[in-house]
Structure 1
């Protein structure tokens, strides 16, 4: 015989389920608030910023090669061409798309390095320059400006028109990123604006960097001066 369920008997079960759901949500929030590893930390100190800029594989070993791969001053044999990765083959033959399909590519390397420099600069903005830290503070800022300028200048040579004074106000540069905010839309300034910004920041780097560094991978005053000279050569 079919029986009719009593709604009042289901109330305790409903309450228990609701309480369980609330506890689960609370537990999930606590879990998400926890760092996945005790070794992870927020980049916040000058030492952290210097460590970011000392990452040799990204800032010193990853110069952009797309310009050289697609240069027209050499030729490859068919055998050599066949041994290249597809994205390099497409650069070599000046294809318009699927040039940067690989996980590690020049475009991502460019903005990865710039993001690292921007992070270091934001750390400085959250740490006051004092009499006790001014040497390291200035040194870190000079290094960050140098690396950001170095990668921007490489990117400009590959993906922007050659600098011509007559058209620099209307020719577009690559997107310039000066912060780490992913929610801020990128914009492309004019080539003239981009070169003016790089010139200003590299001059500041020359003033901030020391004559010598404890490590050969850190940019010095001479390196920043040479990079500034290269900018003037490209600008003409």
Structure 2
């Protein structure tokens, strides 16, 4: 699977960027450097001016790729969920029963990156940290309806649909698969954030490896409820 995944090229909605950052060395450096800076300082403190200074380039050159840091965050958001989609699809292919597919998918979603590695020049540890702490800012804004119509959240929606189909295979009578999945996906991210920063809100502060089983039980228990 790793060999197959390494040969894949993640594609991000072209409306998110002005110039494809993968098309030039500067663009690739913008991605590889920005993902670290956003993780370390947060979106509020991160600016294109600070990024330009680290890269030894001009702020205007960065604006040729992204019109705002919000669009850069959307790029990372889409890139991450597209990567997760590929992992789940390959890992669950030809797996049965559907409950096993659900367990595999949850393992992938709850995975903590423990060793530094890069995909297409992007640090996966820093990217996962950004998704955990910053990704809600990608859609909690006044432009969400316009951005949704432009397809900026399709990568996340595809992951939701994959898991919703698995849930429907387990219990085709369950009426709320998309609601259950989207709630659990956000819950997985929140619990990882709470475990690190707001430990009184989590029971897995010392062992986030328990999250796959916790959310598996949440899903299965919901399916087992009397309709």
The answer, yes or no, to whether TM exceeds 0.5 is no
User: Structure 2 length normalisation: TM-score?
Assistant: 0.33
Q: TM-score by structure 1 length?
A: 0.32
More helix per residue: 2
Higher normalized contact order (CA 8 Å, seq sep 6+, divided by chain length): 2
